[in-house]
Amino acid sequence: MGFMTFIKKLNVSIMVALASFAGATIFICSNFLLNDIELLAQKAIAAQKSRAETVPAPFEPGEHLPGGKATSRKSFKNKNAFSHSSGNMGFEKELLFKVGNGLFRKLWVSSPSSTKSSDGLGPLFNARSCQRCHLKDGRGHTPEANWPEDTQVSLFLRLSIPPQTVEQKKLISSSRALVIPEPTYGGQFQDLSIQGHQGEGHMNIRYEYFDVSLDDGTTVQLRRPHYSATDLKYGPMQKDVLISPRLTPPMIGLGLLDAIPAQEILKLADPDDQDSDGISGKANMVWSDLKQKIMLGRFGWKAGSPSVKEQSAAAFSGDIGLSTSLHKNAAGDCTPNQTFCLKAPHGVDKKSGVEVTDQMLDLVTFYASNLAVPKRRNPQKMSVLKGKSLFHSIGCASCHRPSFKTGPLPKNKHLSQQLIWPYTDMLLHNMGEGLADHRPEGKADGFEWRTPPLWGVGLTKTVNGHENLLHDGRARSVEEAILWHGGEALKTREAYSKLSKAERMWLVEFVRSL
């Protein structure tokens, strides 16, 4: 006898008994009750059927080592899980890694100072070291409160304005510039300053909470952030200023992502959706100051930087206020309207003409390029493999491409020809109004974001003590991040909402195993 047949016969039997025992009123009430039981039984059978239909995906050779042979060989069970060097890096390069780590952690001071090669901070800045933003080489966190209750470091605001002149429009269209900075406050809102100067103001966040219902009746609370710049110290911003928050991403695997041949990424691009699958990945082609040509953008939330070295140099300038050979302004992001800032003492080295020499920049770049990806956790567990199957079947892998093979790197052979599993296509995708910042960056419009790699995401809580995800940390879990997907990913989000509770748990478990 089937379960539903049993329920229906039980329903009839109980109704007859109740009717003969206590009359019609109890009969009607019991009928409603038993209808509810029947509905619950239907849901239970549907869930049981879906569990039976979810066939585990096969375990693929090498996927337990996301960084190939460069995967970390050390423990992933503590806060240092993201801080280990490439697992196959020779002993002779360990010294370069350790010195680079020292520079990454260095606390810079203002000029003049007796500590040469450590001065030049600011005058305006967001942090005194790289490590202050990239906590334990991991993901930044959202502040628990607004200033002065919480002085956040790892979340800040990007600023720009729409191009105003023909010249500015040409800079953007030719890819020679990503954005036009706000005339007074520049390209980044800097809340800290050296002695005798004022930070630009404070970031204020207000959250709006709302519930999202899934098909099985489960309710998930999301939070929508609203950002503003307050306590402005240098006058009002331009009325059409564009503001976008940025949470610092984890540092692992950057050298491997840098080593993926550009043509392998570009052949995945389908900006006009010619195959009509609803996915239209787009490359952000940007100007490289290092190579003096237009190249594929790879790093940053909108893929605005073409290499680890250029991303590092931009961070030295915008985040700490330090000059390099790629960003020679010793005043960092100070603008012509901040004259007092421009006149502040600097720490420029007389020989190199900058505050961070090429040798120092190269060491930091080497360190950042060799922070190893941890190995997978339980990749062959049955529930993880079922989650992998669902990850593919509902469309997640359309953008979060599982694997690539790195190209040849004569100077870093240990990163060459590695089969890696970053779960990204490195392309821009329209993520819908919910995640839109309405602030273009190069070829990326105000709805588009680069697909972030998923490797290591399951260790965020271990390393950083939270699970703040997406470009501004609004999502507090993997599930919340999925439910924020819109635009090209809307069908995938809707498919996720239709999954049973068990299926959702498997999918999230798979993502956290990466």
pLDDT tens for each residue of the chain, 514 residues long? 554 444 444 444 444 333 343 444 433 334 444 455 555 555 555 545 444 588 999 999 999 999 999 999 999 999 999 999 999 999 989 999 999 999 999 999 999 888 878 999 999 999 999 999 999 999 999 998 898 887 667 999 999 999 999 999 999 999 999 999 999 999 999 999 999 999 999 999 999 999 999 999 999 999 999 999 999 999 999 999 999 999 999 999 999 999 999 999 999 999 999 999 999 999 999 999 999 999 999 999 999 999 999 999 999 999 999 999 999 999 999 999 999 999 999 999 989 999 999 999 999 999 999 999 999 999 999 999 999 999 999 999 999 999 999 999 988 999 999 999 999 999 999 999 999 999 999 999 999 999 999 999 999 999 999 999 999 999 999 999 999 999 999 999 999 999 999 999 999 999 999 9
pTM (global) more than 0.75: yes
Task: Say how far residue 67 (Cα) sits from the centre of its chain.
Answer: 18
Query: Contact, 51 vs 107, CB < 8 A?
Result: no
Residue 88 has which token pair? Answer: 């196959």
DSSP string, 436-494: -----BTTB-TTEEE----TTGGGHHHHHSS--BSTTS-BSSHHHHHHT--GGGHHHHH
Q: How far apart are CA 360 and CA 103, in angstroms?
A: 7
What 3-state DSSP class applies to 16?
helix
Give the model's pLDDT for residue 148.
87
Q: Residues near 191 by Cβ (< 8 Å), separated by ≥ 6?
A: 126, 147, 151, 156, 199, 200, 201, 202, 203
Residue among 472, 466, 457 at smallest CA distance from 509: 457
The identity of residue 345, as a single letter, is: P
Omega into 66 within 30° of 0, i.e. cis?
A: no
Give the model's pLDDT for residue 30.
43
